[in-house]
Every structure is written in C-alpha cells, then in structure tokens.
A and B are shown apart, each in its own frame.
Chain A
Amino acid sequence: MSDLEKNNEHEEEHFEYDGGAAVVPTDKIEDPGLEPHRPRMTDKDPKAAARAEKQVAAMFVISIIGAIVAVWGYVAFPIVGDDLSNTRNNALWVGVGMALSLLGLGFGAIHWAKTLMPDNEIVEQRHQSRSEPETRAAAVDILNMADSESGISRRKLIRRTMFGALAFLPIPAIVLFGDLGPAGVGDKMRVTMWDRGVRLTRDPSGVPIKASEVTVGSTFHVIPDGLNDLYHKLDEKAKAAVLLVRVNPSALNEAEDRKDWSYDGIVAYSKICTHVGCPVALYEQLTHHLLCPCHQSTFDLANHCEVIFGPAARPLPQLPITVDEEGYLIAQSDFLEPVGPTYWER
C-alpha cells in the first residue's frame, strides 16, 4: 500500500457530506473509482519516447526562430517615410514572430508534460469548508474581546457618532460626481450654438450656404457659422451638427404650426440620433428616409422626421430656418427641444 493510498483511506474515515438544505438522495450512484491506468506509447516504446523528445525540442526551436523573426521584422521594416506598407509588414512580422515564440514555448512545455513526465493518477479528497469547532470558538472569543475592550456596545454616544460619520463620508463624492451628469451641467444639454440669425455653413469649410445653391435632392452637412473659431469646437459640433436637404415642396407633409420652419422645400434637421446619438446622415433621395447607421433607426424626413423603424423614441429635432437679405440660409432660433438621446429631465 503506497503512502498515497494510505492517505486516501485516512481521509475517507471521517469524511461526511453535509447536504445543507439540499435533498440528499439515498440511492446515489456508487463512486465508480478510478479508471485502470493506461500506459502511454512513450512509456511502452523507447522509440516513441525519443520521438516525443525530438518533437518537444522542435517546438522550442520554433520558439527561438519566432523570437529571431520578430527582431528581423522590426529591423527589416522600419516605420519611416510615407510608405504605409512598412507599417503593415512591421506589425505583421513582429506579431507573427512573437506569437510563434510564445506558442512554441507553451506547446513544447505541454507536450513535454503530457508525453514524457510521470502520468500516474493522483486523488486528492475535498475537505469540508466548515472550520473545526475549536477554530470557530476562538474566532468568537476574539470578537467578544474586541467588544469588551473597545466598549462599542456600552458607549452609545461613540457608536452613533461613528455610524453618522461613516454615513456622511461619501456625500462629497456624490455631490462632486453629480456634476458630471446632465442634472449638474446647467442648460448645456438644451442649448446649442444655433440662434436667431446664425448662418448655416458647410462642414468643414465654414462657407455660408445660399438657398439658391441647394438644388432639389441635395444634401449639405452643416455647421453653425463661427464654429471653426471656437477652441472647444468638437463639443459644440457634437450638438449643433445639422443635415440640410432640399426636397420638392409638394413632397413635404408639414404640420400647420411648423410650416414656416422650412424654406421653399429646404429643411434642416439635427444629425444627432435621438436613440444614442450617432450621426444620422444616410439620406435616401427617393424615399426621403434618413437611416441611422448604428441601430437602423429610420426617420421619415417628409413627415418631420418621425420614427418609422428602429429603437429611436423621438423624431429628430428640426431647426427652423429662413434666409437673410443676402440670400444666405440662417437659423430662426435654436432647436426648440434638446438634441440627441433622451435623458431623464425630458
């Protein structure tokens, strides 16, 4: 009887399953025990062992070659100049080399362990997770001692003020982090750069757009005049981006109170999807559908961009536009509702 088997027997003597609240089956299947040991080819045949040894060595050699390939790739394809194919080759060979180097080492080690290292089966029994009674009693003693020495049960004043202090501790964090959300940013979520008289200009050049330049079927990607002069222009662009489209005026079904928001078939809508804020700009000229590329929300431009498909909950906000005396398109006001995804204050 080996030491291992003795050990197993010893464990089994006082090992009992604690079923806890579970139903313990009385007719449980007998433990079938270990399968009979099956010797490997490398145990039986010295030639197979020699072959396995060579295989492991070959994998380690591949690992060495991989490391060399990685260095060669790095040196042979320096990322210099305008030739983008250098970047591609550099990344490719450094990556392939390092992958070979790691995989060769790993595969070699595992193959070595599986074929040549001892393969006798070992059993390790599980222990109960509950501690011994002495350990548990000692833990209770420590807690009791802490209670009596600190007097936390007796000294009510200290206990209550301590809990109070703990309750107040996170309040600064809550107040500070609260300012990150829309509740703390004032009217930033409601207000964009658009205002009465702001010219509609081309993205990215900032050249103003004349109404006569917008032919039927045209789309212009629009930013407000002056955006390019701002330091934080992306912050403003993210809210103020607008898609300008001219359709045949007879194709528009305009609500009575929004009839003067368009100019001779030219309509301007926020490009920020009301679902999660992707830029909605896939405009189909014949169907007047606007598609959001992220989640396929589809808006019907002819009907005030109402949602006809997809997860968006609200129509895209319309920018009321008109022309100034020089014929340039201008905004009548800011958007009359907040652009972009819904947040809890609306």
Chain B
Amino acid sequence: MSDKKSIRRKPWATSLVILLGLILSGGGYAAATTTVQNETSAEMIEEGRKLFLANCATCHGTNSEGTDAGPSLIGVGAASVDFQVGTGRMPGQASGVQLRKKPVQFTEEQIQAMAVYVASLAPGPAIPDEQYLDNTGDANHGSMLFRINCAMCHNAVGAGGALTEGKFAPALEGVTEKHIYEAMVTGPQNMPVFSDANLTPEDKEDIITYLKYVEENNSVGGFELGSIGPVAEGLFIWIFGFGFIIAITVWLTSRAN
C-alpha cells in the first residue's frame, strides 16, 4: 500500500499519466477519423462540393458548367483535379496565356475531396493506380515513346521548351510520377490528351520510368547547360570560347614588359 502510494507520488507519475492519456485520445481520434474517411464517399463529395463552391465556382460555375472565365469540369475526372490543384496551378492566380505552377493551396485531404466531387459529376480519368507509378517500367521503350509523342514540346530529356505566344511546355524534372501520369491522361491546358487507348498504362509507366532515369543519371556529354540545346551551348561557346581565343590573341601580340 505504501509502495503504491509512493509510486503515485513520484515526480514522473504525472507525466506518465498525461502521456498515456494523449496516446489514447490521439490514437482513438486517428482511428475514428480514418474509419470515417474510408467509410463514406457521400460526406467527402459534400465536403468537396463546399470547397468547390468556395474556391472554384467563380470561374467554373456553381454547377461546374463552366463560364467565360473557366471551362466546364463535367467529365474531366479526378485525375484532372488532382493534377491542377495538386501542382498549384489551380486555383488560378491571374488570367493569362498559361497558368503556372505555384505553391499548393490545399491539403491532400481537401484536394481528394474536390477530386471526388468533380469525379461524381460525370465519369472521367481517375487518379492513377500506384502500380504504374513505381518506376519499374522499361526505360528504353519509354524513351522511344517519349521521343515520338512528347519530346517535340518537352525536349528530349524533358527540359521543357517554348510554344507560341508566351506559352511553354514546362520542364519535367522534379514533377511527381502521379502528376506526370495525370497530365498525360487529362491533357492540361494546351497539352494534348494521351488517353489509355493511345498510350496504355504500361506505356505511361515506361515513359515515367525513362524520365526518372534521366533525372537520376548524369549526362554523358559533360555540362548540360540546362539541356536546352544549341541556344545555351552556342551562347557558352561564343562568350567563353571566343573570349578565351581573343584573350590569347591579345596576349600573343602584346610586348613583354
């Protein structure tokens, strides 16, 4: 009895009790919320609809029917929402020829809620399955498909490139596997669509594997200079190569002091 009493009176006893309480309540809450998320889609759709009305409806219309300021979202699918909001392109910052990547404005749960809501309007491309995003495809085949379908805009190693009137194909370095897949399947902004009938999910996996391979491996030819080809390389050689030759010529013809 006296022993028990003494334990309760030990200085760390209070901390222990608080810790136990925290673990129980926190863990219980986490378990409860996880169950809720997995359980209902209707609640998530409602949550997504609220977020949509508050953040998107001004341009896309209250029923996602589209307005002069933004296209209809009926049938664009969850993949489109996950790409546009997940890369920060949406909500748009300012109107212009092209919406740019910026810091993401929503949490992952909020994005999923909006994706589920938009997907509930009409069928469209879904968020890709994890099995196509683990970079275990055939990089060689992916490279060939990339050169045929993508390289004309995005550059042979995905360094990006210019389009007309200020638009551009963005660089693909550092873009997550999921977002690359979603971009192919939805065709955001001026990018054409590469549906599963055109490039199968396995083809897309090969392309992503190739892009990640390029990202992780050094260029064979030395300095890449942005991998943008003759502009950067020409500028480099005209400034530094010719500068060096001119400096040598000046030194060669000057008198020794």
Contact = CB atoms under 8 A, between A and B. Distances in A.
Contacts of B217: 84-85
Contact of A284 (B148, B163, B221): B163
B192 A245 contact: yes
B190 A287 contact: yes
A42 B256 contact: yes
Interface residues of A, number: 43
A41 B257 contact: yes
Contact of A40 (B167, B187, B257): B257
A220 interface: yes
B66 interface: no
A40 B189 CA distance: 70
B256 A284 contact: no
B105 interface: no
A217 B192 CA distance: 5
A110 interface: yes
Nearest to A89: B218
B144 interface: yes
B152 A92 contact: no
Most chain A CB within a 10 A radius of its CB, from B153, B191, B197, B221: B197
A115 B255 CA distance: 9
B231 interface: no
Contacts of A291: 163-164
B221 A218 contact: no
Contact of A114 (B164, B190, B256): B256
A204 B189 contact: no
Most chain B CB within a 10 A radius of its CB, from A88, A92, A210: A88
A217 B193 contact: yes
B198 interface: yes
A281 interface: yes
Contact of B193 (A203, A285, A289): A285
Given A88-B222, A203-B148, A285 B189 contact: yes
Nearest to B125: A215
Contacts of A285: 187, 189-193
A344 B255 CA distance: 58
Given A85-B218, A110-B252, A202-B198, A284 B190 contact: yes
Most chain A CB within a 10 A radius of its CB, from B149, B152, B190: B152
A255 interface: no
Contacts of A202: 198
A42 B256 CA distance: 9
A88 B187 contact: no
A42 B252 CA distance: 17
Taking residues whose C-beta sits less than 8 angstroms from the other chain, chain B's interface range is 20 to 34
Given A110-B252, A204-B144, A284-B163, A218 B194 contact: yes
Contacts of B195: 213, 215, 218
A309 interface: yes
B88 interface: no
A66 to B, nearest CB: 17
A293 B190 contact: no
A88 B192 contact: no
A282 B148 contact: no
Contacts of A216: 193
Given A87-B220, A202-B198, A221-B148, A115 B192 contact: no
A293 B197 contact: no
A296 B221 CA distance: 28
Contacts of B198: 202, 213-214, 218, 220
B219 interface: yes
Nearest to A114: B256
Most chain A CB within a 10 A radius of its CB, from B164, B167, B191, B194: B164
Nearest to B219: A88
A79 B105 CA distance: 48
Contact of A218 (B153, B190, B193, B219): B193
Given A40-B256, A92-B222, A110-B252, 6 more contacts: A84-B218, A217-B192, A217-B193, A282-B163, A286-B190, A298-B164
23 contacts: A41-B256, A42-B256, A84-B218, A88-B220, A88-B221, A91-B221, A91-B222, A92-B222, A119-B256, A204-B144, A215-B195, A215-B197, A217-B187, A217-B192, A218-B198, A219-B192, A283-B192, A284-B190, A285-B189, A285-B190, A285-B191, A286-B189, A296-B164
